[in-house]
Amino acid sequence: MSGTYDVIVIGGGITGAGVARDLARRGLSVLILEKDDWGGGTSGGSSWMIHGGPRYLEFDWRTTQRSCEDAGKIVTAARHLVHRVVFLLPILPGAKHGLEQMETAMEVYDRYQPLKHSNAHARLSAAQARELEPALAPEVVGAVTMEEWGVDPHRLTWVNVLDAIEHGARALNHSRVEGLLVDGGTVHGVRYRAADGSRAEARARAVVNAAGPWSAQIAAMGRAEVKLRPAKGIHIIYDRRISNFAIESEAIDGRSLLCVPHGAFTLLGTTDDDFQGDPDEAEVSEEEVDYLLQGFARVLPDIRAFRPVRSTVAVRPTLHRWRPYEDDLSRAYRVIDHGENTSGGPVGLISIVGGKLSMYRQMAEETSDAVCRQLGIQSACTTVEPLPGNESEAPTPAAIADRLGISLLSGARALSRHGTRVEAALTGAGTSRVLCRCEALTEAELIYCARNEMVTGLDDAFRRCGLASGPCAGGGCLSRAAQVLGMELGWSQGQRIEAVEDFLRRAWPKRQPVLGPAGWAQEELDYARRQNLVRS
Amino acid sequence: MARLAMALVGHQLRRMFRSAGRHSGTRNIVESYRADHLSPLTVSERSLLHSISRCIGCGLCGLAISDGKAPELGQAYSRPLHLLPSVIHDLDLGEMGEAMDLAAGGSACPVGVPLIELAAMLQRLGGRP
């Protein structure tokens, strides 16, 4: 499995995937390595937003402008994966920012909204705000609206990897880098353990460290230094869209909290706390869940009556700064060419650290520019071009349902994942049987993902096609999914059972802290199903 | 921050001469996002969501009314509200919405999901009369 490349990219989050895509499109030979699955770390644990950075308006309008420009480019390239998110920003008496201040900020933000194809704000009286969201707290005195874009970061990461592959890159998930090959102060490549457990080396003229919160460890392998101030953030995920509008609230410490509908669920977050441990070991605590609910109940008093189904936890690779509170830390990013570093780091290693999902394309472009400078290559960035699945106008759900004999819901959900490639995703396996009834996922799509999207386990399928992401968390579909995937991947019966148990074991720490009465009732039913006490 | 303060002064001046901004009101929002199907829920629909969320997908309602789609109302179709206009024809609520059938399904539900009200909500959000 050894090989030689122009560039090796370490890390298959959105930044690494963006870098791999950018460099592959410039004609470089690229290997990208991800220790887990594409978008399975910080990217997947984000708030699923491509936003323009309204918070920067307080100190730097230019940053807001640049952020909106790049958000516009991402939205254009990934049109099939994004959806409009309309925020209600309710104002409570005594709020940090009153209605006039909030509207002023939105008036300024409106200047940049066209850059990302978004609409201007609206100002609402309390009664008007309640027309849009009837359950707002009676204390709300008014609101303004703000428009952003939502995106599935797992799919966004994957289509970046896919585009890299289609431009000649080699991509390996479940392949952990165990060391850098350093010789005479120059990084020549990496040692890694592949998905099958074998160990291999790969050589390259440049190595990009895009490992997010793990980037300090990767840099240390090359005797280089990356200083981070990692921050942990959790989100609560609800079983359904609580509203068609996103809502903002304020936590007890003044931090902004968001409750955002995405697809068939709602995501509420986030926390922002210094985290010094192993990012792989970050956990969700009941105190963090309470912090979010307490803050949100001020504007949506019935939030505790909704049904959380799971949570997410991720560690942000925030740039190091001494003194500021976590929430005041900038989401700025840095491209570090360690060979140019005055501390005498190794030549051939470039790290990209900090940043956020909304800036990934720009971060990738600057990193790729640095790689090209180092290699003496002159080639322009072309990542504004459409991503896979957005090459032309996608068919309608009705057309898909008609042609393939599936439900409109299955067609619509698959369209939101595959865009123009939906027909290939649903026809290749010759079956239209529904696998996951909560998500209207078909067996054909799972098989397509195994054959074409590097899905090698149930966790990968959760990210790539939403398997087991509904309210029953796989209670009704995991066993069958393991059979379907097992047949495709050659698993034994024992491996299929093990795959289900492994999925449930890994999911449980993110489910247990948020389950309410309905969640526990579901657990009882799912347990009975697994024991064959009742039929699925 | 200084630029934002200046913007606030400008905003206050404009407010003095304009009682309601050109972007004000819910009609503007409903119109702007009609194509995205981002429509508000009514007060009764909003309060219904809590009881729908109790659905555990046991399938007993389906057995009671012999309709394969009934068990999916709570866990599949009522969740992506924004998709309803595109997928409502799946449900054939005109036939399934026979009150007696849904009442039977609702009676069989061990967690008390109100199927009749749920079907009415899906029908309205799906744009069906």
pLDDT tens by residue, A416-469: 999 999 999 999 888 889 999 999 999 999 999 999 999 999 999 999 999 999
What are A501's two structure tokens?
A: 């148990």
- Residue A14: which residues within 8 A CB-CB, separation 6 or more? A39, A43, A153, A156, A157, A160, A357, A360
A471, B28: Cβ pair inside 8 Å?
no
pLDDT value for A322: 78
- What residues pair up with A246 in beta bridges, in sequence order? A87
CB spacing of A124 vs B53 below 8 angstroms: no
Using a CB-CB distance cutoff of 8 angstroms, which residues of chain B are in contact with residue A522?
A: 56-57
**Residues on chain A touching B122 (C-beta within 8 angstroms):** none
Residues with Cβ within 8 Å of A130's Cβ and at least 6 positions away in sequence, in order, are A136, A140
Cα A455–Cα A164–Cα A191 angle in degrees, nearest 5: 75
Buried b (16+ CB within 10 A) or exposed e, B14-29: eeeeeeebebbbbebb
Judged by CB atoms closer than 8 Å, whether chains meet at A470 and B53 is answered as no
User: Helix (H, G, I), strand (E, B), or coil: what is residue A45?
Assistant: coil
pLDDT tens track for A182-226:
998 999 999 999 999 999 999 999 999 999 999 999 999 999 999
Instruction: Find out whether A148 and A118 touch, Cβ atoms under 8 Å.
Output: yes
Tens digit of each residue's pLDDT (9 = 90 or more) over A494-527: 999 999 999 999 999 999 999 999 999 999 999 9
Which residue, among B28, B36, B55, B89, would best test binding to A if mutated, counting the most A CBs under 10 Å from its CB?
B55
Cα–Cα distance for residue pair A22/A384, rounded to 1 Å: 10
Nearest to B7 among A108, A244, A407 (CB): A108
Name the residue with higher pLDDT: A73 or B128. Answer: A73
Nearest CA in chain A to B75: A438
- When computed from its CA atoms, the radius of gyration of chain B, rounded to whole angstroms, is 21
User: Residue A448 is encoded by which pair of tokens?
Assistant: 């397509």
Handedness of CA A404, A443, A78, A65 (dihedral sign): positive
DSSP one-letter code for A2? -
| Mean pLDDT of the A141-155 span | 97
Q: Is A179 helix (H, G, I), strand (E, B) or coil?
A: strand
Helix, coil or strand: residue B107? helix
Task: Residue B36: list chain A partners with CB under 8 A.
Answer: 83-84
Does the beta-carbon distance from A58 to B4 stay under 8 Å?
A: yes
The pLDDT value given to residue A480: 96
Torsional class of A48: left (φ above 0), alpha (ψ -120 to 50), beta (otherwise) = left
By Cβ distance, the residue of B59, B80, B88 closest to A264 is B80
* Closest residue on chain A to B40 (Cα): A132
Query: Per DSSP, which regions of A293-420 are E strands?
Result: 308-316, 333-337, 349-354
Put simply, the answer to whether B23 touches A86 (Cβ < 8 Å) is no
pLDDT digits (tens, 9 = 90+) for A343-354: 678 999 999 999
CA nearest neighbour of A137 among A87, A85, A91: A91
Q: What is the ipTM of this complex?
A: 0.90
Q: What is the mean pLDDT of chain A?
A: 94
- How many residues does this entry show for chain B? 129
Question: Could you report the per-residue pLDDT of A356-390, keeping only the tens digit for each?
Answer: 999 999 999 999 999 999 999 999 999 999 999 99
Written as six digits, the tokens of A215 are: 């980037």
> pLDDT tens for residues A88-126?
999 999 888 899 999 999 999 999 999 999 999 999 999
CA B29 to chain A, closest CA, distance in angstroms equals 7
Min mean pLDDT across A59-63, A371-375, A497-501, B103-107 is at A59-63
CB contact under 8 A, B76 and A525: no
Backbone angles phi, psi at A58, to 5 degrees: -65, -30
- Please, are residues A307 and B78 in contact by the beta-carbon 8 Å criterion? no
Name the one residue in this structure whose structure tokens are 């440049």: A206
Whether the CB-CB separation of A13 and A157 falls below 8 Å is answered with: yes
* Distance, CA of A135 to CA of A131 (rounded, Å): 9
**CB burial of residue A433 (10 Å; 0-12, 13-18, 19+):** exposed
Instruction: Show the DSSP H helices in A297-454 as ranges.
Output: 360-375, 397-404, 408-418, 422-427, 443-452
Residue A160 has pLDDT above 90, yes or no: yes
B40/A86 CB distance under 8 A: no
d(CA A536, CA A520): 17
A153 to chain B nearest CA, in Å?
Answer: 18
Shortest Cα distance from A366 to chain B (angstroms)? 28
Total Cβ atoms within 10 A of residue A100: 16
B100–chain A nearest CA distance, Å: 25
Please check whether residue A280 is in contact with residue A247, taking contact to mean a CB–CB distance below 8 angstroms: no
CA dihedral sign of residues B95, B98, B102, B104: negative
CB A477 within 8 A of CB A467: yes
Q: SS3 string of A89-142?
A: EEECCCCCCCHHHHHHHHHHHHHHHHHHCCCCCCEEEHHHHHHHCCCCCCCCCE
Please report residues of A whose CB lies closer than 8 A to that of B28. 122
Q: Which residue in B6, B11, B23, B48 has the most chain A C-beta atoms within 10 A of its own C-beta, making it the best mutation to test that interface?
A: B23
- Put simply, the answer to whether A124 touches B24 (Cβ < 8 Å) is yes
Cβ atoms within 10 Å of A322's Cβ, excluding its own: 5
> Cβ A84–B82 below 8 Å, yes or no?
no
What pLDDT does B95 receive? 57
SS percent in chain B: helix, strand, coil, step 5: 65, 0, 35
CB contact under 8 A, A128 and B26: yes
| Residue A522 neighbours by CB distance under 10 Å | 26
| CA closest to A528 among chain B residues | B58
Residue from the list B11, B50, B82 with its beta carbon closest to the beta carbon of A107: B11
Strand partners, A171: A32
* B11: three-class secondary structure by DSSP: helix
Instruction: Name the residue facing B80 among A104, A263, A306 (closest C-beta).
Output: A263
Burial A135-166 (b: 16+ CB within 10 A, else e): bbbeebebbbbbbbbbbbbbbbbbbbbbbbbe
Contact: A408, B87; criterion CB under 8 Å: yes
Q: Which of A500, A434, A433 is nearest to A473 (CA)?
A: A500
CA separation for the pair A306, B48 (Å, rounded): 11
b/e code A42-58 from CB counts within 10 Å (16+ = b):
bbbbbbbbbbbbbbbbe
For A308-320, the pLDDT digits (tens) are 999 999 999 998 8
Q: Supply the pTM of this predicted model.
A: 0.96
Of B28, B33, B79, the CB nearest to A239: B79
